[in-house]
A and B are shown apart, each in its own frame.
Chain A
Amino acid sequence: MFRKRGRKPAGILVLVLLLSTILAACGGGSNGGSTAGSGTEENNANNGSQQSEETKVEALSGTIEIDGSSTVHPLTEAIAEEFGAVHPDVRVPIGTGGTGAGFKRFAAGEIAISNASRPIKDSEAEDLKANGVEYLEVLVAYDGLSVVVNKDNDFVDKLSVDELKKIYEPDSTVKTWADVREGWPAEEIKIYSPGTDHGTFDYFTEAINGEAQVSRNDSQITFSADTNAVVQGVAGDKFSVGYFGYSFYEENQDNLKLVPIDNGTATVAPSTETIKDNSYSPLSRPLYIYVSKKELERPEVKTFVTFYLENAGQLAGETGFVSLQDDEYTAELAKLEQ
């Protein structure tokens, strides 16, 4: 087979070299374009601010980079989608790095808005201050952390905050359901939780265990970065328990049983009403976007945040969250004008 090699390979080589040169040229070409491109981006931003000084009616353009909580992402995405229909020249790329990672990028000045499924921590606020990033905290919707058990579980009628703490606290001694409350079956309890990089985990541990990020960690608990894995885990095991954002319960109602929470004063199950009027305490949580004050001076960012607050009420419902009261949105809008 080797003897026959002769003329054709040269042809192939020429072809391949030609191809790679062309491709290399393309690469080089776009390389050149990149420097020009980044220039254009800056120009765009400059144009944006100039436009605002001249005429506010002109079409907005520019880029509003957003990152942060994957919980808040569906809502921000819905807003960005609707916003794109009105202002097609404004680009709104959104990442889902997680609340903590979002704040890190926010501090580095890489993004204009940070999605957060919990209020900012003191350490994060200090970090922002050290980097000279002034920010505005904007409340956009509520979520109710829903505690669920398997749909065939017929003994759990409710769980008190203390019982939840017993199950989830560090060095928990709870091995079976009988350890949670006397009279419940002595079956091993399988515990599910969203992963430690979730704002959901932060919020739950803070509300139940008293300190964020503190949780039991042994062979009986399973952490999943993917919330759907928590849903699957609880749906597939009769003696399991888990928690996640309300929207995940709403979508999987047929396979799960919602557990009302006894917070000492009342026993409440999460629903649109109880989350909205804050009676589903302590597991109803606020969702925020954090906006850089410097970025807010750009007209497209301000328009976007205003648009966010004007439409969050309606879109929160569509994306599985609970909207704020109307006057709360008005109050948040007023913050922008300060």
Chain B
Amino acid sequence: MEQLNLGDSKGITRRRRSDQALHLLFLACTSVGIIVLMALLVTIIMDGVHRLSPDLFTNYPSRSADRAGMKSPIVGTIYLLLLMTPISFILGVGAAIFLEEYAGRGRWIRLIQLNISTLAGVPSIIYGILGLAIFVRGMGLGRSLLSGVLTMTLLVLPIIIVASQEAIRAVPKNRRDASFALGATKWQTVSRSVLPSAMPGIMTGVILALSRAIGETAPLIMIGALTYVAFLPENLMDSFSVMPIQIFNWISRPSQAFHELAASGIILLLIMLFIMNITAVWIRNKYSKNL
């Protein structure tokens, strides 16, 4: 009896120990990412914070670091965002509604589904090449803001579709059944019952996808967004620049002052991303509480 008890308590101690070891292991896994990110943030902030000034918002790019600002890239990024949002929202959510509510589970639909999931992981430069071939050359839109918007829309669409589908799928089936039982049509059910419940999830997905887009450089370099633009785009066919491209340009210059300027540009971009992500969290919390 005693021996058995002893054995038991030994087993418990061993299991506790291995539990603690795993606890530490997972903590270490978490800290690796966090520490690297913190180190990155700290160096960026140390490099760039003293260059943050209103000039950054009011001045155009310049050869002299003391006068250089990123007015045109900031405005370019905001325009890109404002134009992308409605296009990618309507197309993405529309496709998600079709795939989840209207399309069945046939072979073709499954094939399309597989393709969309794959597209979500395609490297962004591929979208740049696609945009260059289709929008810039094929449709003759040139290296314009419109080409940039359309290319970036393509880039975020798969992500938005997948996120929206998941949000729609999370709506319990009994809600649809209840709606149908009351004699509602498919569209009435989708628009009045399913979408409202899924909207916080959809919005979160859209915002996160958009915040990926504003940090993208490669596809826009591909379609030829420019590095020196000393005017604001006035219409969709104008040339434009965006913040990551300006940062990239500053970093590749020989002088240290421009590297610091690039760091302050990165801080601005991070602040923008942070605000967008906070908004996503806020929307999720606010509306899922009310539902």
**Extra pairs beyond A93-B230, A95-B226, A315-B63 (17, CB < 8 Å):** A5-B175, A8-B291, A9-B197, A13-B192, A13-B195, A16-B199, A23-B86, A26-B86, A31-B236, A33-B236, A40-B235, A63-B239, A67-B224, A74-B63, A81-B230, A226-B251, A228-B254
Question: If the complex has contacts A34-B237, A81-B63, A251-B256, are A92 and B230 also in contact, measured as CB distance less than 8 A?
Answer: yes
Give every chain B residue within 8 A of A252 (Cβ-Cβ): 254
| 5 tightest Cβ-Cβ pairs between the two chains A and B | A9-B196, A37-B235, A34-B236, A23-B86, A251-B254
Q: Is B191 an interface residue (CB 8 A)?
A: yes
Q: Is the CB of B85 within 8 A of A93?
A: no
Give every chain B residue within 8 A of A41 (Cβ-Cβ): 237
Interface residue tally on A, bucketed by range:
35 or more
Contact of A70 among B85, B90, B199, B252 (CB under 8 A): B252
Contact of A73 among B85, B144, B228, B251 (CB under 8 A): B228
Q: Is A27 an interface residue (CB 8 A)?
A: yes
Q: Is B83 an interface residue (CB 8 A)?
A: yes
Within 8 A of B (CB), among A19-33: 20, 23-24, 26-27, 30-31, 33
Give every chain A residue within 8 A of B203 (Cβ-Cβ): 16
Question: If the complex has contacts A16-B203, A23-B85, are A30 and B235 also in contact, measured as CB distance less than 8 A?
Answer: yes
Q: Is B61 an interface residue (CB 8 A)?
A: yes
Contact of B238 among A37, A73, A80, A315 (CB under 8 A): A37
Q: Is A144 an interface residue (CB 8 A)?
A: no
Residue of B nearest to A251 (CB): B254
- What is the bound-complex CA distance between A247 and B172, given in angstroms? 64
Within 8 A of A (CB), among B195-219: 195-197, 199, 203
B168–chain A nearest beta-carbon distance, Å: 13
Residue of A nearest to B87 (CB): A27
Q: Is A318 an interface residue (CB 8 A)?
A: yes
Contact of A91 among B83, B86, B231, B288 (CB under 8 A): B231
Q: Is B290 an interface residue (CB 8 A)?
A: yes
Question: If the complex has contacts A2-B175, A9-B196, A30-B236, are A248 and B254 also in contact, measured as CB distance less than 8 A?
Answer: yes
Give every chain A residue within 8 A of B2 (Cβ-Cβ): none
Give every chain A residue within 8 A of B287 (Cβ-Cβ): 8, 12
Contact of B251 among A1, A27, A94, A228 (CB under 8 A): A228
Q: Is B82 an interface residue (CB 8 A)?
A: yes
- What is the bound-complex CA distance between A16 and B85, given in angstroms? 12
What string of 1s and 0s marks CB contacts (under 8 Å) between A67-102 and chain B?
A: 100100110011011001000000111111100000
Give every chain B residue within 8 A of A9 (Cβ-Cβ): 196-197, 199, 290-291
11 A-B contacts, Cβ less than 8 Å apart?
A16-B203, A20-B90, A23-B89, A77-B61, A77-B228, A84-B230, A94-B226, A110-B143, A227-B254, A228-B254, A252-B254
Residue of A nearest to B72 (CB): A93
Q: Is A38 an interface residue (CB 8 A)?
A: yes
Q: Is the CB of B63 within 8 A of A96?
A: no
Q: Is B229 an interface residue (CB 8 A)?
A: yes
Residue of B nearest to A4 (CB): B291
Give every chain A residue within 8 A of B237 (Cβ-Cβ): 34, 37-38, 41
Contact of B236 among A20, A37, A92 (CB under 8 A): A37
Q: Is B105 an interface residue (CB 8 A)?
A: no
Q: Is B185 an interface residue (CB 8 A)?
A: no
Residue of B nearest to A227 (CB): B252
Contact of B224 among A84, A97, A250 (CB under 8 A): A97
Give every chain B residue within 8 A of A80 (Cβ-Cβ): 228, 230
What string of 1s and 0s marks CB contacts (under 8 Å) between A241-263 and chain B?
A: 00001011011100000000000
